[in-house]
Amino acid sequence: MSGRNRMSRHADGYRGYHDDPRPLMNRGLGHLSVHPAALEEELAMKHREMQRIIAENRLVIDDNTLLQRELTDAKDEIHRLGQVLPKLRAEKEAQSRELIERGLKLEADLRATEPIKAEVMQLRAEVQKLTALRQELSSQVQGLTQEITRLQAENQQLIPMRADIDGMRNELVETRRAYEYERKASEEQVEQKQAMENNLVSMAREIEKLRAEQLNADRRARERGGGGYGMMNGSPDMRYSRGSYGNGYSSGWGPYDKRGSRR
């Protein structure tokens, strides 16, 4: 199957640097002599062409072999299906015949019961006419007996059902208690987390406010002090390290600085 989609290789792509497909000896060289190197190149090109054709023939042979195998498998499968289909058809026909016979038998049974039904109805009417009172009393007693039996059976069935209901009620109570406990614990955790976030946001905002005030104070001091303040700020003893101060707060409160501060 892998060789079905292979594209055939044409000889046009293997002509080398020669534009003329004719051999060098057939180009009409006239009075020029054929150079041995040109002949060797022509022979090498022909050899490569023969090797390519041999390789393509091998691929075609492999493809044909694979196709023959697949064709044999397909024939075997068709033969097997040809043997199975008659059996399936026969089984289906047998089932159909059986269903038809059952239907006909049921129809015959129904037709046979019609006279019996009529006789039963007639006999029942006669019995009702002859023993109306007795039938009424016996039916009442029978109804009461059946009702008592049914109630007793229901009471016997209700005993395990009540136990199951009590167990389910206890499980429901325990589940509800556990759910309430988990819900309260979750609410407390959410409230604690919200409070911590609010505190962190407030601290970040306070830090930003202090930074702004410090920057404003530095700017006002530079505006008032001029060059003298710069010299004092540049001295080793009085120099103010704003980089370490700013980095200390910005690295510790970076996420809250982005979320809580308003610039």
Q: Is the pLDDT of residue 29 over 90?
A: no
pLDDT confidence band for 20 (50 / 70 / 90): very low
Q: What is the DSSP string of 52-65?
A: HHHHHHHHHHHHHH
- For the segment 3-13, the average pLDDT, to the nearest whole number, is 44
Which residue did the predictor score with more confidence, 168 or 9?
A: 168
Q: Is the pLDDT of residue 106 over 80?
A: yes
- At residue 9, the pLDDT reads 44
Question: Which pair of tokens denotes residue 191?
Answer: 């409230």
pLDDT confidence band for 34 (50 / 70 / 90): low
Q: How buried is 204 (Cβ within 10 angstroms: 0-12 exposed, 13-18 middle, 19+ buried)?
A: buried
**Which stretches of 226-261 are DSSP H helices?**
227-234, 242-252, 254-260
What is the percent of the chain where pLDDT is above 70?
Answer: 72
- At residue 59, the pLDDT reads 93
Q: Is the pLDDT of residue 231 over 50?
A: no
pLDDT confidence band for 211 (50 / 70 / 90): very high
Please choose, from the candidates 68, 74, 62, 73, the residue with its C-alpha nearest in 3D space to the C-alpha of residue 6.
62
pLDDT confidence band for 3 (50 / 70 / 90): very low
Q: Is the pLDDT of residue 13 over 70?
A: no
- For the segment 108-126, the average pLDDT, to the nearest whole number, is 82
Tell me the average pLDDT of the chain: 75
Q: Is the pLDDT of residue 50 over 90?
A: yes
Place of tokens 């700020």: 233
- For the segment 68-94, the average pLDDT, to the nearest whole number, is 88
What is the percent of the chain where pLDDT is above 90?
Answer: 23
